[in-house]
Amino acid sequence: MLQLRYILLITLLTIFSVSVTYSQWVQMEGMPDVNVRCLLSIDTTIFTGTDNNGVWRSTENGSWTAVNTGLASTFILSLAENGSSIFAGTNNGVFLSTDKSDSWTGINNGLTDMYIHAVLSTGSLLFAATNDSGIFISTNNGTDWTSSNSGLTIKTITCLAVCPNGTGGSNILAGTYGEGVFLSTNNGDNWTAAKNGLTTGYVRKLLAAPNGTGGSNIYAGTYDGGIFLSTDNGSNWTSINNGINNYSILSLAASDFNIFAGTDGGILLSTDYGASWIDAGTGLTDQHIIAVAANNSYVYAGTFSAGVWKRPLSEMITPTAVANNKILSEFRLEQNYPNPFNPKTKITYSIVGTRHAVSLRIYDMLGREVVTLVDGVKNGGYHSVEWNAQNLPSGIYFYRLKAGSYIETKRMILLK
């Protein structure tokens, strides 16, 4: 009997140990303990830019491989994508890869400042934020660049973001080192100050994410003022620092309605659009989080000196947060984001009640069904699905959600 109790105790301890291990951050293998500057998640492939170690690539469950062929700089400050193109902003210009980072080519014709803090693609336009010369725009995927600084009162641009403007187009926002945020409503032709309510001018990161009612929230992470929220395209900002203890905000990322903030004191998570924040960095050996990324499966943390770590998204969202997300008063189909898009976009919808038969289908201008994205039973709560229209022509498409007696259709634009 004593031996049986001993075996049972060992078994329980083993199960508990496995459970605890699984509920922690795990360091991804294959990369040296380097300074990670940026992260980019594309489907199940993860890319990271490092400080003097170039670009690395991994799958969700794989190890890292260096992919630096053709790079004239290994100091990578930013990464962005546009369809099959990946862009790297470095301290020596912008580089383009069209083969999933196997090789890179410099695309710097017209750039007068080669220190690129951020690269942003809207599908038809490519933006580059520089250290001393403001913003440059390319209309041909980086082959040529033109300066676009009308209205800017400062030329040190730290970050960029794009968000729907509610009329089928997009607004571009630029964060600066000293003058807050600037907004362009005409694709970068002109910029206006958008900093009412900001108590600091030093903006490190900008993030646009769905607000749950069909529009977008914009989050500004600052060096010395925490995080600010704008619900009106940057015209007005409100401090949202409940749970943030004087941290410098180094990075921001979103997965549906969950917002992650990388700081010099760990990772913070908000499941209520930034109204409150909780510590989500327990288990990380390096709490200096310069880069953070998230997809539907994992959250990734790029550290100052310990490479990249990952953790399943399902572990980060507490049962309380899930329950709160399921307390919904109405069915809702959100506007896809981004819109216009090329070639991928995300559609989010909410279901009231316990379980419903749900369908989500895409149609072209002639009413012909293009693809069925959802067709089955879904639990109540928020849901999202990504659509890749890589093999379809540019144009207007419609997406229709049906859940019981609820039917709603929205329009989206594929712009290649």
DSSP-assigned letters across all residues of 152-187: -S---EEEEEEEE-SSSSEEEEEEEBSS-EEEESST
Q: Is the dihedral of CA 129, 132, 137, 143 positive or negative?
A: negative
Question: Tokens 């981004």, residue?
Answer: 338
Can you give the pLDDT at residue 395?
A: 93
How far apart are the C-alpha atoms of 298 and 281, rounded to whole Å?
Answer: 14
Can you give the pLDDT at residue 355?
A: 65
Can you give the pLDDT at residue 292?
A: 97
The answer for residues whose C-beta is within 8 angstroms of residue 191's C-beta and 6 or more apart is 135, 149, 150, 151, 152, 174, 182, 183, 184
Can you give the pLDDT at residue 319?
A: 39
Can you give the pLDDT at residue 138?
A: 97
Residues 54-73: tens digit of each pLDDT:
999 999 888 999 999 999 99
Domains of the chain: 26-320 (2.130.10.10), 328-414 (2.60.40.1930)
Can you give the pLDDT at residue 11?
A: 39
Can you give the pLDDT at residue 329?
A: 59
Mean of all residue pLDDT scores within the chain: 88
What is the edge-to-edge ordering of all strands in the sheet holding 65-66? 36-42, 45-50, 55-59, 65-66
How far apart are the C-alpha atoms of 232 and 217, rounded to whole Å?
Answer: 8
Q: Is the dihedral of CA 147, 150, 154, 160 positive or negative?
A: negative
Residues of the chain with pLDDT under 70: 1-23, 168, 317-329, 354-355
Measure CA 271 to chain center. Answer: 15
Task: Determine whether 279 is exposed, middle or buried from the number of CB atoms within 10 Å of its CB (0-12, 13-18, 19+).
Answer: middle
